[in-house]
Chains A and B, each alone.
Chain A
Amino acid sequence: MAELTEELKEKLIEQLSLEDVEVSEIGDDDPLFGDGLGLDSIDALELIVLLEKDYGIKLKDPKEGKAIFESVGVMADYISKHRTK
Chain B
Amino acid sequence: MIKEKYYISDYCAIRDKKVFKNGDELYIDSESDNLKDFAKGVYKFLELKYPKFHKMDELCKLGFLASEVLFRDREKIDQDTALVLSNRSSSLDTDRKHQTSIMDREDFYPSPAVFVYTLPNIIMGEISIRNKMKSENAFFVTESFDADFMSKYSEILMNTGKASDVICGWVDLDNDKYDVFLAFLSKKGKKELTKEELNNLYNQ
Interface of A toward B, CB cutoff 8 Å: 15-20, 38, 42-43, 45-46, 49, 52-53
Residues of B bordering A, CB below 8 Å: 40, 51, 54-55, 107, 109-113, 116
Q: In the docked arrangement, what's the CA distance between A15 and B116, Å?
A: 15
**A45 proximity list for chain B (CB < 8 A):** 112-113
Residue in B40, B51, B111, B112 whose CB lies within 8 Å of A18: B51
Q: Which 7 A-B pairs have the closest CB atoms?
A: A45-B112, A17-B54, A19-B54, A53-B109, A17-B55, A42-B112, A49-B109
How many residue pairs link A and B with beta carbons under 8 A? The number is: 30
Question: Which one of A20, A42, A52 lies within 8 Å of B113 (CB-CB)?
Answer: A42
Complex CA gap A16/B55 in Å reads 7
Question: CA–CA, A53 to B109, complex, Å?
Answer: 7
CA distance A45 to B115 in the complex (A): 11
Q: How far is the CB of B99 from chain A (nearest CB, A)?
A: 16
Q: Which B residues touch A49, using CB under 8 A?
A: 109-112
Known: A15-B113, A17-B54, A17-B55. 10 other contacts (CB 8 A): A16-B55, A16-B113, A18-B51, A19-B40, A20-B54, A42-B112, A43-B113, A45-B112, A46-B111, A46-B112
Q: Which partner residue on chain B sits nearest A54 by CB separation?
A: B109
Residues of B within 8 A of A20 (CB): 51, 54
Chain B's nearest CB lies how many Å from the CB of A30?
15
Residues of A within 8 A of B51 (CB): 18, 20, 38
**A-side contacts of B116, CB under 8 Å:** 42
Closest-CB distance, A41 to chain B (whole angstroms): 9
